[in-house]
Structure 1
Amino acid sequence: MAKDGKQYDRSAEDLGNIVGLEHVNLQVEDQGLTTLFYISGLGLTRDPYLMTSIDNMWVNVGHSQFHLITAKPQHLRGRTGLVIPDREALLARLEKMKKPLEGTRFAFKEHEDHVETTCPWGNKLLIHEAGSFGRMQLGMPYVEFDVPVGSAKAIADFYRKVFETPASVDESGDMPAARVSVGPSQELVFRETKSKLAAYDGHHIQVYVANFSRPHKRLLERNLITEESNQYQYRFVDITDLESGKPLFQIEHEVRCMTHPLYARPLVNRNPAQTNRNYVPGRDAWVAEPMEPEMDDPRTAMRERRFEAVTRRRQAAE
């Protein structure tokens, strides 16, 4: 019992062997449209130091990134979740993108607890407010994949036993989902669907792991390693049933160790509210807002802010 009488769930702060979801890699057709959607629309930041030509764009979102390569567009079979502060500013930016992105698959829709948006090539992103995922205020809390019916339990077992990371099956939704811990307030979610899955087109995700060799040994024993990239990285594609060896789902994992030169590289995140017309010295970079250290339920404050914002919009319309 703590001095203040509170009971703490210490397991809530546990991390598994996977310590970070660093990037989602997709091919895109046009870097101009990519800039309009990811930078001007979402308010994210192009990495100013690496991949600065027109063949690849690295886009920073908190401590994570999108890697967007110019080639035939790829489609993530699911959704990427983001936390982006200031829902009203986000909606205003997306509204301004309607005309520049006309004729593409760009769209957005406001929901009670998130904003759903679609990139020019059909990839779906769900945008949440700060406080929705622990203390994250800007970042990539999850990537959710659609997987075949009956595969969630075996997928959770795969990550738990091969990667030594917490994984469980969530039965609370319409369909079961495997939830895999991949860093502070970050998950991979594998949600079962009855819909037919599109063919895998080669997109990938990248994770960092603390113990690099044990997962490698287990994957190698099952002949699942697809690339021995270098001293600091390897790759695999197939998630399999550990008992039968049956493939369950395909998504390439770029697996890096914590001694990789890019691990914990500081990423530049700009303040999208800063413009030449309202410029304030010293506010070019995004700075997280202070959060209550003992906020009982961040969702309560989030709902209150949303209610206030909706009320202001209605009053302005009147």
Structure 2
Amino acid sequence: MDGMAKVDCPFNRASETLGNSVELQHVNLRVPDQALATAFYITGLGLTRDPYLMTGLDNMWANAGVSQFHLPTGPAQVLRGVVGLVTPNRELLLHQLHRARRWLEGTRYAFAEAEGHVDVTCPWGNRIRVHEPDAARFGRIHLGMPYVQLDVAPGTLHGIARFYDQIIGAPAAMRDGALHVLVAASQHLVYRETDAPQPEYDGHHIQLAFADFGGVHAKLAGRGLISREDSEHQYRFIDLIDPEDGRRLFQVEHEIRSMTHPLFRRPLVNRNPAISNNLYAPGHEALAPAIPPA
């Protein structure tokens, strides 16, 4: 309005803007053995088995902050890349990983300390990189899944960036030699080029939620990219293409949910793995996924 004084803004408002993708809810990897999966994800990594859903012997959902691993029984699937985790206590993590060895001998299970993180390999070869909380890198994540890194062929990053920008509506930017696609608050899909030969895609998937659920569906369907229609709240696609020429650049199934999906932002239980029957303090059983206020 005329006559109104201009108000100076001291904040970077653009840094708080999300794109069309508003949730990175899970990474789905089939596992051949639920007992070994429990030893790795629950005992070794210190995550929490969802107490409400998938409580049988043929599937397990493992909570990591606001995200999950979905682990249905079947032939092993191996992500072509690395899943990043944040847990609050490196010393406790190493204790848990050492303790889990007794159940995981004879598998591909391994872990190694590095500066700033611990590299862990699951019994079937999936790579997990575990960091401590770092507000500069991971925002307020105290426990969670800040990124899923995917290994792609040389020369594909610019096309993948165009795919997420023009079709998905998710901001993508190059950083540290890799493409970072913002898919939720402080959570990214990271695409990194590699010359190393990659195995054939085995069907593992990631799950995102879109604000413009219908608009993206129309763009994907118009290019013949919808791979499955699950329900009124959910569809899937596998191929990432370059919008300029239609060339397929990478394959990983995206399970896409709407913000009206009944499971959207369902609150997840996260236990404090430092608590045991021998080291117990009432009221400290739960672990908050966010860094406490300063």
CA distance in 2, matches of 1:168, 1:12: 13
Cα deviations by residue, 1:81-108 (Å, 9 ceiling, x for unpaired): 0111101100111011223211100000
Q: Corresponding residue for 1:215?
A: 216
The residue aligned with 1:249 is 250
Equivalent residue runs for 1:72-87 within 5 Å: 72-87=75-90
* Contact 1:153–1:169 (Cα < 8 Å) also in 2: no
- Aligned partner letter, 2:147: Y
Paired with 2:75 and 2:200, the residues of 1 have a C-alpha distance of 15
Superposed CA deviations along residues 155-186 of structure 1, whole A, max 9, x for unmatched, are 0110011111111233x33xxx2211000000
Alpha carbons 2:181, 2:188 under 8 Å: kept: yes
Cα deviation for residue 12 of structure 1 reads 1.7
User: Structure 1 CA distance, aligned partners of 2:67 and 2:89?
Assistant: 19
* Matched position secondary structure for 1:180: strand
Residue equivalent to 1:100: 103
Aligned position for 1:275: 276
Contact 1:81/1:128 (<8 A) preserved:
yes
8 Å Cα contact 2:108/2:122 also seen in 1: yes
Amino acid at match of 2:109: F
The one-letter code of the counterpart of 1:39 is I
SS at match of 2:230: strand
- The answer as to 2:127 corresponding to 1:124 is yes
TM-score of the pair, normalised by structure 2: 0.94
Is 1:50 matched with 2:60?
A: no
Q: State yes or no: 1:150 paired with 2:118.
A: no
Residue identity matched to 1:9: N
Name the counterpart of 1:91: 94
Give the partner amino acid of 1:153: H
Check conservation: 1:28, 1:34, Cα contact below 8 A.
yes
Partner SS for 1:120:
coil
Conservation of the 8 A alpha-carbon contact between 2:142 and 2:291: no
2:133 counterpart letter in structure 1: A
Q: Counterparts of 1:287 and 1:21 in 2: how far apart (Å)?
A: 18
Judge conservation of contact 1:27–1:69 (CA < 8 Å) in 2: yes
1:113-262 superposed matches below 5 A: 113-131=116-134, 132-170=137-175, 172-173=176-177, 177-262=178-263
Runs of 4 or more, structure 1, over 3 Å off, are 5-8, 287-293
Question: Offset at 1:68?
Answer: 0.3
Contact 2:34/2:57 (8 A) holds in 1: yes
Tell me the residue number matched to 1:111: 114
Q: CA deviation at 1:287?
A: 3.2
Q: 1:33 aligns with which of 15, 36, 39?
A: 36
Instruction: Name which structure has the greater RCO, CA cutoff 8 Å, separation 6+.
Output: 2
TM-score using structure 1 length: 0.87
8 Å CA contact 1:36, 1:97 repeated in 2? yes
Query: Unaligned 5+ residue runs, structure 2?
Result: 1-6
Aligned-residue CA RMSD (Å): 1.6
CA distance in 1, matches of 2:211, 2:290: 30
Identical residues among aligned pairs (%): 53
Distance 1:208 1:240, change over 3 A: same
Per the TM alignment, residue 246 of structure 1 is displaced from its structure 2 partner at its CA by: 0.8
Work out the CA distance in 2 between the residues paired with 1:119 and 1:6: 47
Q: Is 2:36–2:123's contact at 8 Å kept on the other side of the alignment?
A: yes
1:192-232 Cα distance to aligned partner (Å, 9 max, x none): 11111110000000001111111100000100001111100
C-alpha separation in 1, matches of 2:184 and 2:31: 27
Instruction: Tell me if structure 1 keeps the 8 A contact 2:24–2:208.
Output: yes
Aligned residues: 286
What is the CA–CA distance in structure 2 between the aligned matches of 1:77 and 1:118, rounded to whole Å? 13
Instruction: Decide which of 24, 43, 52 is 1:21's aligned counterpart.
Output: 24
Deviates more, 1:10-19 or 1:199-208: 10-19
Displacement of 1:291 in angstroms is 3.7
Distance 1:290 1:196, change over 3 A: closer
- Aligned partners of 2:172, 2:289: CA distance in 1, in Å? 29
Q: Which residue in 1 is equivalent to 2:3?
A: none
Aligned equivalent of 2:63: 60
